[in-house]
Structure 1
Amino acid sequence: MTVVPEKAVVPEKQVVRPYGDTTGDGMVQVSFTLPLPHDKRAEGAAIQLAGKMGIDPAMLVHARPMGDGFTFFVVYGRVNHLVDTAAVRVVERDFPLLLAKEVNAVVKRQLRRKLSVVGACIGTDAHTVGIDAILNVKGIAGEKGLEYYRELRVSNLGAQVSVPDLVAAARAERADAVLVSQVVTQRDAHLHNTREMSAAFREAWPAGKRPLLIVGGPRFDEAMTAELGVDRIFGRGTTPDEVASYLVHALITSRKATTV
């Protein structure tokens, strides 16, 4: 009889350093733009900034002018900072990931009508790539959007939709959920727009009756749901099946569980 030794359990590292050339060498690469024309003084300013960021020694590996009076830099060097992964807090997915046919089956069996979804880019945001990836049939990376789900009724309002128009559309469509995509983040426009939207929906609907409010975009912090007054935030890399699964979880599964 051959005894196969058990594999040793290697504990996951909790404290780590950046990796560049060799393990744990602390090497990092950062890029930034300074409002200076490209010359030796600008390069010196970039090294000074890198030093104040804790990069020592800092090596300037790339510098190119970015129009009149601006220069783009890439700096490489060592930092002494450690990262404690035990202190990292993230929003974990707390619902099962369902296939399209499973979403359709739950909606048809338990809601007994089509689930109404209204989506838009609000404010001056004209970047519809994100909302289209989630809503349009073509979807993203081979995964079809919510329009593909036969038990979902989707209304995509497109870009630069005002908050009052979004509220009106949600009323007209009897929306169960409102999806808003925000890509433009200059001067925290995405945060201001989201707060304006959530305030408008709280004013327009009585407590417990408003549609589910969901926002998404590459610069959102998923832990800011309560602060922004929304029900869920999705970050970059979100796929249509994640959103559809969340809708079923929030609007049907969890609500049914609380009434049992």
Structure 2
Amino acid sequence: MIDLRSIRPYGDQMGDGAVQLSFTIPLECGPLAREVAKHFCEKLGFQDVTVATMEDMGENFTFFVVYAKTTISVDASAIKIVAPKFKKMTREQLDDLVKREFNRQIVVVGATVGTDAHTVGLDSILNMKGFHGDYGLERYHAFKVYNMGAQVPPIELVKKAREVQADVVLVSQVVTQRNIHIRHLTELMDLLYAEGLREDLLVIVGGPRITHELALELGYDAGFGAGTTPSDVANFIVQELLRKFSR
């Protein structure tokens, strides 16, 4: 039985605190760099430090992979999770559910907004092929998808949502320097309210620096971070729409 009050990393034995670290030090590859790497890990509180890999990166930089152990544990029972809630259903089950409950396709409009030119994450969720064998929303009979691509001004995304009578707006934000994503997401939400569309839409944001908690703070219905699959988003959309409009 695992004690949720004391969770520690696992290596060879349960609770041994074994971890793997990787980092680069600005020193020439050699004995001094190795000792600096070990001392650095020890100052972080790690014990039984072993340098597994030391590679010369050139120009007086050395890359390390280090094994070490920690006595620190975490009380998992005290952690409150803020995450989108949904039951995982198959693509076929979702298609049947939408046909039965909506009797039409759910209309989804997606884009990366503002100056963001990255579409890999957006495409992996929307495009038919998806990724890692998890099909994108275009593969579902349940959805009609409009992928507007990159660097879409928020006002144009709002216009498209109105034009196609969207049920869902899906925004991807990868560029986050100086919190530019906050500005873009706030502008989009303000426009949706100004145009009188917000209450009739499910609005979702995704990206590597996005959390569900942040999304809720900005007025969105959900936020999806790294590791999200297309089926996660598909399940949330269908089930949340049913909850949202059956109140």
TM normalised by structure 2 equals 0.80
Task: Name 1:29's counterpart in structure 2.
Answer: 20
Q: Structure 1: where are the runs of 5+ without partners?
A: 1-10
- Select 2:246's aligned residue among 228, 233, 257: 257
Question: Is the Cα–Cα contact under 8 Å of residues 125 and 136 in structure 2 kept in the other structure?
Answer: yes
Is 1:86 paired with 2:86? no
CA distance in 1, matches of 2:177, 2:38: 26
- Select 1:212's aligned residue among 190, 202, 210: 202
Percent sequence identity over aligned pairs: 42
CA pair 206-145 structure 1, distance change in 2 beyond 3 A: closer
CA distance in 2, matches of 1:77, 1:132: 39
CA pair 219-115 structure 1, distance change in 2 beyond 3 A: same
Post-superposition offset of 1:52: 3.4
3-state DSSP class of the match of 2:122? helix
CA distance in 2, matches of 1:223, 1:190: 15
TM normalised by structure 1 equals 0.77
Is 1:242 paired with 2:214? no
Q: Structure 2: where are the runs of 5+ without partners?
A: none
CA distance in 1, matches of 2:96, 2:49: 58
Question: Is the Cα–Cα contact under 8 Å of residues 133 and 240 in structure 1 kept in the other structure?
Answer: yes
Q: How many residues align?
A: 245
Q: For residues 187-229 of structure 1, what are the alpha-carbon distances to aligned partners after superposition, in whole Å with 9 as ceiling and x for unaligned?
A: 55555543443344334436624x2211223343333332233
| Aligned residues: CA RMSD | 3.0
Matches within 5 A, 1:94-173: 94-173=85-164
Task: Name 1:20's counterpart in structure 2.
Answer: 11
Code of the residue aligned with 1:215 in structure 2: it is: V
Deviation larger for 95-104 or 150-159: 95-104
CA distance in 2, matches of 1:171, 1:76: 55
Question: Is the Cα–Cα contact under 8 Å of residues 38 and 64 in structure 1 kept in the other structure?
Answer: no
CA distance in 2, matches of 1:243, 1:67: 43
Structure 1 stretches of at least 4 aligned residues deviating more than 6 Å after TM superposition = none
Post-superposition offset of 1:124: 3.9
CA distance in 2, matches of 1:213, 1:155: 14
3-state DSSP class of the match of 1:257? coil
